[in-house]
């Protein structure tokens, strides 16, 4: 097997530790779902699922059935919920895989009833209720028809009801989220008034789990926090304003590559496509075999930094499809094949996902989720990281 030009190290102890911190926030009876969609937010779906279950997660949350099927194929038997859309043609397969389904339209509930009749398996459904995010979610006007259908078909079990907040991370004013919570409560009450027990209502993502115990219901769905990142600065500020002890979350991802060439170039030469950077001094460049095809965003051109020998080296010129160039003039010890940290810590220096996100004009969720999809994920145990968790 040829060596990988870029790889992602995943700190298992950090994920376990972060998850346990969320567990400590919850009442004993409240279930904890580890959200592993988006390839485990870029950390590796199966790897994270196994770590999270080992650290006490009760459920796994994925987006689509393909992700759920892969987890089942890997031998994972824990409860799995698809949080996204499963096409009607795949519902029978979902039931055979013992995967619970988020449903958010009358047509999908009808199709689930057909799949249940066809397979002879009950369909365990979580109704996603529209409360104001206006993406997937059952409009209130469709609730009576769905409730009729659920009541009439013994093969359909309304196991859960859930919703997702539109404006909880981006602000320190949480009126919109509170309105959504009120709407959710009313819709849940309507379902219960119709005689549905709804064993598992759930609304909380990481920010809600950190800030608002009233959002917990029977389960919380934790993504970003488990990977060691605060949902946002605003969430951190809100927690401080409420006088909460800060959760010390530990980022779990380190993205690495190796120097592919070192060369000295004259003052006044242009570096890379478009001649967007001109050297102002005799410059030592290190060429790195990572580019936008690897999720290393082109907006990092002439803006981002990497870490080599524990020091920052700035990107010079444009990030190419498979390569980028960094200035190592002030790090004279750099040599061919030296290890480079694109994201994460090296000695005393750190490039955070938040910092990379600000360079790339996006959010840290996108940075970690898009980190080189082809790169191997290498899970480090506590023995590798020296952690005592």
- Contact set with ligand PLP (CB under 6 A): 35, 83, 164, 205-207, 221-225, 231
Given 186, 233, 242, 273, which residue is catalytic?
273
Nearest residue (beta carbon) to ligand PLP:
223
Query: Is 85 an active-site residue?
Result: no
Quote the least distance from Cβ 61 to ligand PLP, whole Å: 6
Yes or no: say if 387 and 18 are a contact pair by the CB < 8 Å rule: no
Quote the least distance from Cβ 204 to ligand PLP, whole Å: 8
Given 21, 31, 37, 128, which residue is catalytic?
37
Query: Is 273 an active-site residue?
Result: yes
Q: Which is nearer to ligand PLP, 136 or 387 (CB)?
A: 136
Quote the least distance from Cβ 229 to ligand PLP, whole Å: 9
Q: Which is nearer to ligand PLP, 83 or 300 (CB)?
A: 83
Q: Which is nearer to ligand PLP, 40 or 304 (CB)?
A: 40
Q: Which is nearer to ligand PLP, 35 or 319 (CB)?
A: 35
69 phi/psi in degrees, rounded to 5: -60, -40
Q: Say how far apart CA 230 and CA 223 lie, in whole Å.
A: 10
Yes or no: say if 303 and 359 are a contact pair by the CB < 8 Å rule: yes
Quote the least distance from Cβ 209 to ligand PLP, whole Å: 7
Q: Where are the beta strands (DSSP E) in the chain?
A: 6-11, 31-35, 59-62, 80-82, 100-103, 123-128, 156-162, 200-204, 219-222, 253-258, 261-265, 270-271, 277-278, 283-288, 305-308, 311-316, 324-327, 339-346, 349-351, 377-380
Residue 224 burial (CB count, 10 A): 25
Cα-based angle 223, 229, 231 (whole degrees, multiple of 5): 70
Q: Which residues are catalytic?
A: 37, 273
């Amino acid at each position: 097997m040829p060596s990988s030009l870029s790889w992602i190290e995943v700190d298992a102890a950090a994920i376990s530790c972060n998850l346990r911190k969320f567990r400590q926030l919850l009442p004993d009876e409240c279930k904890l779902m580890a959200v592993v969609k988006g390839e485990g937010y870029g950390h590796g779906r199966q790897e994270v699922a196994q770590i999270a279950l080992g650290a006490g997660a009760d459920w796994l949350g994925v987006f689509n059935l393909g992700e759920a099927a892969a987890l089942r194929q890997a031998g994972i038997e824990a409860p799995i919920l698809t949080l996204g859309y499963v096409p009607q043609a795949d519902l029978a397969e979902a039931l055979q895989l013992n995967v619970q389904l988020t449903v958010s339209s009358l047509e999908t509930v009808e199709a689930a009833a057909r799949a249940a009749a066809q397979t002879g398996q009950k369909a365990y459904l979580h109704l996603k209720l529209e409360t104001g995010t206006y993406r997937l979610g059952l409009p209130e006007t469709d609730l009576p028809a769905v409730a009729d259908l659920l009541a009439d078909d013994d093969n359909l079990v309304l196991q859960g009801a859930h919703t997702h907040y539109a404006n909880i991370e981006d602000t320190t004013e949480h009126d919109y989220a509170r309105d959504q919570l009120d709407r959710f409560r009313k819709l849940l009450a309507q379902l219960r008034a119709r005689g549905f027990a709804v064993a598992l209502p759930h609304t909380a993502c990481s920010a809600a789990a950190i800030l608002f115990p009233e959002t917990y219901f029977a389960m919380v769905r934790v993504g970003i926090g488990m990977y060691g990142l605060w949902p946002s600065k605003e969430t951190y500020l809100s927690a401080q304003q409420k006088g909460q002890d800060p959760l010390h979350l530990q980022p779990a991802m380190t993205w690495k590559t190796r120097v592919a060439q070192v060369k000295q170039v004259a003052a006044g030469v242009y570096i890379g496509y478009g001649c967007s950077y001109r050297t102002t001094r005799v410059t030592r460049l290190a060429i790195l075999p990572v580019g936008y095809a690897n999720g290393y965003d082109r907006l990092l051109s002439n803006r981002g930094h990497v870490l080599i020998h524990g020091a920052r080296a700035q990107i010079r010129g444009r990030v190419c499809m498979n390569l980028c160039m960094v200035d190592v003039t002030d790090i004279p010890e750099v040599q061919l094949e030296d290890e480079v940290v694109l994201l994460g810590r090296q000695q005393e220096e750190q490039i955070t996902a938040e910092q990379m996100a600000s360079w790339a004009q996006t959010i840290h969720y996108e940075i970690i989720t898009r980190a080189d999809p082809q790169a191997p994920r290498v899970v480090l145990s506590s023995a590798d990281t020296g952690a005592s968790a």
